[in-house]
A and B are shown apart, each in its own frame.
Chain A
Amino acid sequence: MGKRLALTGDMAAAESMRQINPDVVAAYPITPQTEIMMTFSQFVADGLVDTELVRVDSEHSAMSACVGSAAAGARTMTATAANGLALMHEVVYIAASTRLPIVMPVVNRALSAPINIHCDHSDTMAERDSGWIQIFSQDPQEVYDHILLALKLSEHPDVLLPTMVNQDGFITSHGVEPVEILDDSVVKTWIGDYKPKHTLLDFENPITVGPLDLYDYYFEHKRQQVDAIDNAFKIYPQVAKELSKLTKREYPMIEQYNIEKADHVIVTMASAAGTTRYVVDQLTEKGEKVGLLKIRLFRPFPADQIVNILKGKKSVAVLDRSASFGSFPPLAEEIRNALYDEKTKPPVYSFVFGLGGRDLLPSHVEHVFKGLAKGSFNTKTIEYLGVR
């Protein structure tokens, strides 16, 4: 049953892609995603996969090729990061709106300028209204697992939406950790064949993809997308349960750590959850009542579940790895919005950390928990952790 390998987050993504054996991959290299496609193109060269690897001239072309390929009925994947994702932006929307279940590992990196190759979430947050499902991974193991989960979720007939599987640039993508890999045959059986209902290459039943759609039907197609991504709430737990049976690991939309007894909770995503968990352990040992809520599924946003967990708490700190200039950052906005209707709700404090790869240190997390306990933060302002 499976094996345990020492893999970076990028190699873990490539490994799950090898097992998925997509029909088509179209990609363009960009740091820190490059190692995914570098590793995967070696698999192609070695004949370990049957994939048609399309080497394109830009990320805009990469996503365009993926849209064409997925519309033709091929199981399609790509990967990108940062400015590459930004260059895709136009076609990212088209992929979701055309309801093509493309799975794309995104290795989160700060958007320019100034140019920076390290981690923050500004790239993926710029796509949060694009209609893609967005899953955040804490470590290489989650990267591997989430890509398999994403494929099954995306291709479900009630969903049919593309998914971004996010991981933190360099922190996760280039950090080697033990990763448990399923047997190739187990993955192959579980994901099955991709059998879309309508495809461009079905010559018996010719269709038009991507036609002009004016004010008489465009709104209806957007309304369908709303239902589709809401359906992901229903389908996600089923798919996660199936995968859990194979891996013996759990994939709740939101992960609670030490939450039940906690008075003060930090909400965050991706690798920062690991750092926070470490601090929660240390402070709990000293008798403090602190906990962590890790958001795995960001789109669709599981607000109901989050409210049930947070509404009785004394205070909540939301740690965002991206800024929204002129307003509160994305995750803090979501959490506040989710809690608005509750009669009793904790104050929600907003923190921005780690822009451009700045480390989130345990001391930063400790500072947040201590401030929460003392009530020394202000809900009207944003705190910036680790900035000079």
Chain B
Amino acid sequence: MKSKLKGYKEIPIGGLILDAGNAKTYKTGGWRSKRPILDKSNCINCYFCWFYCPDNSVDVKDKDVKGFKLDYCKGCGICAVVCPKKCIKMEDEDKFEE
């Protein structure tokens, strides 16, 4: 996540935004301090996490919970709390920093 952000020499000065509608490309996942980690061996695809996620960040493909869209997940941890199998763990984000 962090490495995708640009350095101070690569961005317009003064906070100017030069491209209209760029909120679309703004990755709010950068706000996260904890990251959900899924233990798939215990997951029963109940979709509780998918229902409760306030940011549509649970990745479900072909009726199977695959993981999380980290570009948008803000690390609120609701998924981990509601999981009936306790197979989602919230881990400190700094572990994943390069």
A residues with a Cβ closer than 8 A to B are 97-100, 160, 198, 205-211, 213-214, 216-217, 220-221, 223-224, 227-228
Contacts and interface: CB of A to CB of B under 8 A. Distances in A.
Interface stretch (B1-9, B51-59, B88-96): B1-9
B8 A206 contact: no
B15 A213 contact: yes
A220 B7 contact: yes
The 9 closest A-B pairs by CB, nearest first: A99-B14, A208-B17, A220-B8, A223-B8, A98-B14, A99-B13, A216-B30, A213-B15, A224-B8
Main secondary structure of the interface of A (DSSP, over half): loop
Contacts of A227: 8
B18 A220 contact: no
A217 B13 contact: no
A213 B14 CA distance: 10
A226 B24 CA distance: 30
A216 B2 CA distance: 9
A71 to B, nearest CB: 9
Contacts of B20: 206, 208
Contacts of A209: 14-16
Contacts of A224: 8-9, 11, 13-14
B11 to A, nearest CB: 6
A132 to B, nearest CB: 14
B16 A198 contact: yes
A198 B15 contact: no
B79 to A, nearest CB: 23
Nearest to B12: A198
Contacts of A213: 15
A160 B13 CA distance: 9
B8 A210 contact: no
B8 A211 contact: no
20 contacts: A97-B14, A208-B20, A209-B14, A209-B15, A209-B16, A213-B15, A214-B31, A217-B5, A217-B15, A220-B7, A220-B11, A221-B8, A221-B13, A221-B14, A224-B8, A224-B11, A224-B13, A224-B14, A227-B8, A228-B13
